[in-house]
Amino acid sequence: MEVLRYWKAKIYPGARELNGSRLQNTVARLSHGYTVEDLKRSIDGFAHRPNLKYGRWVPPDQGGDFKADPKFFMADAARVDEGLRIADRYDPPPPPAQPMLPL
């Protein structure tokens, strides 16, 4: 439920139900190896581009249909991965830590 509460806060505050296919799809992604942080990061990506237009994720001002709903984008790994790629474009992950060199 942590992931769905995050989605509600970030993308769709008016959502009233966090159960049904939203919950089932989220649990399925978790059971197939995604972490809670992976799914939250994917949500971050879809917060930037929540609409689907002609097969491309676009910002709301470019039209398309709202699809940033877990019942849609958590339905398969490819969509979750697309959310991760979008998030990386807007907010790249930090580089790996550099090892400490002896003085």
Residue 53 has pLDDT above 70, yes or no: yes
74-98 residue pLDDT tens:
999 999 999 999 999 998 777 777 7
**What is d(CA 103, CA 25) in angstroms, rounded to the nearest whole number?**
51
The full set of domain ranges for the chain reads 2-90
In degrees and rounded to multiples of 5, residue 72 shows phi and psi of -105, -60
73 C-beta neighbours (distance < 10 Å), count: 25
Residue 102 has pLDDT above 90, yes or no: no
> What's the whole-model pTM score?
0.86
**What is d(CA 92, CA 28) in angstroms, rounded to the nearest whole number?**
26
In degrees and rounded to multiples of 5, residue 41 shows phi and psi of -65, -40
Residue 99 has pLDDT above 80, yes or no: no
Residue 21 has pLDDT above 90, yes or no: yes
What is the pLDDT at residue 27?
A: 97
